[in-house]
Amino acid sequence: MTEVVTKEELDEAFAMFYGMAASIKDLVSEPVEVSDEERVAAAKRVFLKGIDANLATQLEACVHCGACAQACQFYLGTEDPKYTPIHKLDLMKRVYDREMSPLSWIKKHVLKDITADDLRAQQELVYDACTMCGRCNMVCPAGINIADLVALNRSALSAARLMPDELRYMQEAQAEDGTIFGADEDLFMFRVQDLQDKLGFEIPVDKPKAEVLLLTSGLDIHLFRDATGGAIETLHHMGIDYTLRTDAYEGANFGLLAGHEPTKKMLTEKLTKVAIEIGAKIVIVPECGHSFPAMRWGAAESVGHSVPFTAMTVSEYFGKAVMEGRLKLEKSKEKRVVALHDPCKVGRGGGVFEEPRAILEAIGWELHETESNRAYNFCCGGGAGNFLIERADKLKRAGYRIKMAEIEKTEAQSLVVSCGSCRMNFEVGKVKAGDTLPVESLAAIIAAHLPKKEKAEGEAA
Amino acid sequence: MSLLDFARGPALQWAGIIFVLGMVWRTLGIFMLMRSSPLSANRDNHLFEHGVRTVWSRFVPAPVFEKKVSFQYVAGWIWHLGFLVVLLFYKVHVMFFEGLLGFGWPALPNSIVLAIAGVTLGVLLWLLGRRIFNPVLRYISTFNDYSSVIITTLPILTGLLTFTHFGIAYETLLAIHMLSIALLLVWFPFSKLFHVITLLPSRYVLGVKFWRRGVQA
Ligand code: SF4
Ligand code: SF4
């Protein structure tokens, strides 16, 4: 692999980026004043529109057994019962019971209506204390999909204009200029140029037609250039007909994370339209966990019909290529012992488990699995945009500790991840906890193990 | 009309009617909330088969959770099964069902039923205690939870008392037992006991949703 960013450059960029993230709270606009009645009405509208027979069945199935607490990093890390996953749905259940359920005619008289203060209190539960990781879904004897229902709670709070400031800032900024952290077109092109200089080949941008549309993210443009650089280098190596696009490069979707439905739809729709226009068969989303569900499950919904492409995440696309023999990787000289973090939105939320493992096997690294792995993996502690919420710091650290304890038990020399925000959260967690375990991008690892060019061209033909 | 006549006459009949109507009403009410299905392509097919797999697989916890939740799964299993066995295989109950349905089935010896009823009662009381003393359970529990476990326990308790002719007249004990059953029937459709209808379909919903994304839930 060509080194696209040195350790010093990365540290420097990280410090700058961390400062930028920390200043978000000071930059956020004044919240729009809305009456309490309007907040309650808006939240209820979202709940009532979002609940269908499937969700109602799930809401009606809970036996209050408390098992879900035993799966949630935030309960396990704090032992505070208020972080019991099912409690995060109580408010929504009350709206359902009073206004929608078959027993609403009784429940209306028994249960208190929700108030704006209830919604304010709910903010901590469904943003700070839930990364929508879905681990609780895996233990519940009733199979209740708490993570997806928390997402509906975020949408309701967003409609009630009660998003946490940091996520509101990110959502508003992205609604305005389509990208995050100010990674506008100029900066995007600067980064492309920078990568091009380092990689030594031309990176296709704005090709009118291409088989593969590669997305990146503001986080990678600023910080994790090795991730985007690794994906580009590997696509080039494989001889794939791909392009980056100035009108569709940002894979992150803070509409989705904040629960802001109009922004979520607008961003996904924009990418989807470009992908269709250029005739892409595959859209590769960057190493950014939530950009996968945004495109994989959201693209068709955003345009209202099925789409002619498949959205894949970096680890999935290249992992499949390895599994199918289309991409050969060189064995590493060093037999390194590594642990792997399955990002929740890609693993438990997308079924991408074997692909990253196939890559590690191909390069001959020894994977030591964490006790909870694949569909049972613990979240990094800061997913779903939580890594930006300042006041959630204690909770994030609690989640991080649980995750890191499992990783440490594996005695791995480094941790492999394929999600920028997980990586970010691990890096911040390490600094705060004084940990030193190296955290590496899977895309960068792939690029570092590409065979010599001559051999590769023969294979790609 | 004696208390026993009332209990096994109008009380049980009305309770039965309320039970059936309530269950149908609530089930249909949920069914009518059906909406359209997702537009994005599934990552894997055979959704039905995998939905059913999740319905079965959730009867036991995944290995990674065993240490934390096995005992409560087991406790749940024991009392649900115990309750069913006593309900369906106690000799007097079999005779009752035979009168109602026109056919019967072999009953279990009284001593076995008695032991099972005792264990079931013990587990239910232990679960009630746990609900009161475990911080998580206490935090999430509502009137619905406490009342439901008590109302479920009453028929077993009163049944045991009737069987052992404990204290007061047999007829009175039997009437109380029947009234406790009537209470259970009436409470059923309006409480969390309704999960007998929703729990397995809820697992199916999760199984399908996850398998659509390529994950065996
Ligand atoms: S594990 Fe499931 S059934 Fe038990 S309390 Fe949590 S959500 Fe309810
Ligand atoms: S989705 Fe994850 S963070 Fe949220 S309640 Fe469930 S286990 Fe906890």
List pLDDT tens digits, range A385-402.
999 999 999 999 999 999
Q: Report whether B139 contacts B181 (CB < 8 A).
A: no
Percent of chain A topping pLDDT 70: 98
> What are A141-156's pLDDT values in tens digits?
999 999 999 999 999 9
Q: Report whether A198 contacts A3 (CB < 8 A).
A: yes
Structure confidence at residue B177 (pLDDT): 97
Location of structure tokens 């909770």: A395
Closest C-alpha to ligand 2, atom 5: A85
The CATH number assigned to the domain with range A36-159 reads 1.10.1060.10
| Alpha carbons B64 and B72: distance in angstroms, whole number | 15
Question: Which atom belonging to ligand 1 lies closest to the Cα atom of A64?
Answer: 5
What ranges do the domains of chain B cover?
Answer: 3-34+62-212
Chain A residues within an 8 Å CB radius of B198: 57-58, 60-61, 142
Structure confidence at residue A94 (pLDDT): 98
Q: How confident is the model at residue A100 (pLDDT cuts 50, 70, 90)?
A: very high
Say if residue A459's pLDDT is above 80: no
Contact B69 A67 (CB under 8 A): yes
> What are B169-178's pLDDT values in tens digits?
999 999 999 9
Chain B residues within an 8 Å CB radius of A106: 190
A369 in reach of chain B (CB within 8 A):
no
Is there an atom of ligand 1 within 6 Å of A72 CB?
no
The pTM assigned to this predicted structure is 0.96
* H, E, C per residue of chain A: CCCCCCHHHHHHHHHHHHHHHHCHHHHCCCCCCCCHHHHHHHHHHHHHHHCCHHHHHHHCCCCCCCHHHHHCHHHHHHCCHHHCHHHHHHHHHHHHHHHCCCCHHHHHHHCCCCCHHHHHHHHHHHHHCCCCCCCHHHCCCCCCCHHHHHHHHHHHHHHCCCCCHHHHHHHHHHHHHCCCCCCCHHHHHHHHHHHHHHHCCCCCECCCCCCEEECECHHHHHCCHHHHHHHHHHHHHHCCCEEECCCCCECCCHHHHHCCHHHHHHHHHHHHHHHHHCCCCEEEECCCCCHHHHHHCCHHHHHCCCCCCEEEEHHHHHHHHHHCCCCCCCCCCCCCEEEECCCCCCCCCCCCCHHHHHHHHHCCCEECCCCCCHHHCCCCCCCCCHHHCHHHHHHHHHHHHHHHHHHHHCCCCEEEECCHHHHHHHHHHHHHHCCCCCEEEHHHHHHHCCCCHHHHHHHHC
Ligand 2: centre distance to CA A70 (Å)? 10
Q: How confident is the model at residue A1 (pLDDT cuts 50, 70, 90)?
A: low
Q: What are phi and psi of A282, to 5 degrees?
A: -135, 135
Question: Which atom belonging to ligand 1 lies closest to the Cα atom of A65?
Answer: 4
Structure confidence at residue A7 (pLDDT): 83
Find the residue in A nearest to B131 (Cα): A65
> What are A239-291's pLDDT values in tens digits?
999 999 999 999 999 999 999 999 999 999 999 999 999 999 999 999 999 99
Sign for the pseudo-dihedral over CA of A253, A257, A260, A265:
positive
Mean pLDDT, chain A, whole residue set? 95
Sign for the pseudo-dihedral over CA of A424, A428, A430, A431:
positive
Say if residue A81's pLDDT is above 70: yes
Q: Give me the average pLDDT of each 10-residue run along chain B (217 residues).
A: 94 97 97 87 91 97 97 97 98 96 97 98 98 98 98 98 89 97 98 98 97 92
Architecture category of domain A323-448 in CATH: 3-Layer(aba) Sandwich (3.40)
> What are A182-192's pLDDT values in tens digits?
999 999 999 99
B43 in reach of chain A (CB within 8 A):
yes
Q: Do domains A36-159 and A323-448 have the same CATH topology?
A: no
* Domain at A7-22+176-321, CATH from 1.10.357, 1.10.10, 3.40.50, 1.20.1050: 1.20.1050
Say if residue A456's pLDDT is above 60: no
Average the pLDDT over A428-439 and give the result: 94
Provide the b/e sequence for A13-24 (b: ≥16 CB within 10 Å).
ebeebeeebeeb
What ranges do the domains of chain A cover?
Answer: 7-22+176-321, 36-159, 323-448
Say if residue A47's pLDDT is above 80: yes
Average the pLDDT over A42-66 and give the result: 97
Long-range contacts of A298-301 (CB under 8 A, 24+ apart): A298/A253, A298/A256, A298/A264, A298/A265, A298/A268, A298/B40, A299/A268, A299/A271, A299/A272, A299/A275, A299/B40, A300/A272, A300/B38, A300/B39, A300/B40, A300/B41, A301/A265, A301/A268, A301/B38, A301/B39, A301/B40
A180 in reach of chain B (CB within 8 A):
no
- Residues in contact with ligand 2 (CB, 6 Å cut-off): A 71-74, 85, 88, 130-136, 146-147, 150, 379
Q: What are phi and psi of A86, to 5 degrees?
A: -65, -25
Q: What are phi and psi of A204, to 5 degrees?
A: -70, 125
> What are A4-24's pLDDT values in tens digits?
888 888 888 888 888 888 888
Say if residue A319's pLDDT is above 70: yes
Q: What is the DSSP string of chain B?
A: --HHHHIIIIIHHHHHHHHHHHHHHHHHHHHTT--PPP-SPPSS--HHHHHHHHHHHTTS--GGGHHHHHHHHHHHHHHHHHHHHHHHHSHHHHHHHHHHHS---PPPPHHHHHHHHHHHHHHHHHHHHHHHHSHHHHHH--HHHHHHHHHHHHHHHHHHHHHTT-SS-HHHHHHHHHHHHHHHHHHGGGSGGGHHHHHHHHHHHHHHHHHHTT---
Q: How confident is the model at residue A453 (pLDDT cuts 50, 70, 90)?
A: low
| A89: nearest Cα among A160, A152, A158 | A152
Q: Which two tokens stand for residue A296?
A: 């994989």
Structure confidence at residue A19 (pLDDT): 84
> What are A191-223's pLDDT values in tens digits?
999 999 999 999 999 999 999 999 999 999 999
CATH number 1.20.950.20 given to B3-34+62-212 = yes
Neighbour count for residue A238 (Cβ, 10 Å): 20
Q: Which two tokens stand for residue A247?
A: 């009108």
Q: How confident is the model at residue A461 (pLDDT cuts 50, 70, 90)?
A: very low
Q: Which two tokens stand for residue A248?
A: 């569709």
Q: Which two tokens stand for residue A64?
A: 């209050």
Closest C-alpha to ligand 2, atom 6: A136
Structure confidence at residue A454 (pLDDT): 52
